[in-house]
Structure 1
Amino acid sequence: MKRRLHTAGIAVAATALCLTAATNAQAATGKLTINSKTYQDPPSGTCYNPNPLRVTTPTGGVLWYYIQVSNQTDRTVLVYFEKNCSGNPSGGFAPGESGNPSVSKYGGSVKVGF
């Protein structure tokens, strides 16, 4: 009986260690900045829905909508034209890249890669 409890305890500890390692392995390392808001070590698969910025004419008309992305993580991030990371990605940024992709007037979205 004592041996069985010892074996069960080791199995539980090993499982907990594996789950902890898997969770940490899935987080991107570094900073992801979207429209001046910075996320430290964002979890992989997370979808962010920032409000769009806009380029306007001198009379106030909107020419297009965009978001600012600076990917200083170790993962690629994907950009979607629509919110909630729906549909196919319209682009992406490799680690160390930045840019201002166009999005819909309702806002685009950014997903941290796996």
Structure 2
Amino acid sequence: MTPMQKLAGLGLAAILLSFLGVGGGVWLTARHYRPLLDISNASLTEAVLARDNLEALAGEQGRKLGDLVKAGHLRERNAVLAQEKARQEAQPDYAAANKLLRERTGGDPAQAAGEIIDLELGL
């Protein structure tokens, strides 16, 4: 064997040993990190599912809140209409009561109010 062939054989052996070392390192690294990656992927999946669930709940809550606001506005509008209707329905009774008050006291509303208060207080 010539020195050149010996040198080429040693170089080839060094290259093969390097590849063997790299392959072994990759295999050991994969054995070490694969369980950690699996745990991380499982945690990521759980977190994504939880986030999606929370987004759905927040959307539903927003819709329900919007419905409550609309219902509140509707109740408020109905209450205003009911007050106005009651005011209109009470107007004839109010006018009749004022007429009776004026007849009893001679027409002065302040004097009528004073007499009613005195009667209530027993003076």
Q: TM-score, normalised by structure 1?
A: 0.32
Structure with bigger RCO (C-alpha 8 Å, 6+ apart): 1
Q: Which has the higher strand share?
A: 1
Say which one has the larger Rg.
Answer: 2
TM-score w.r.t. structure 2 length? 0.30
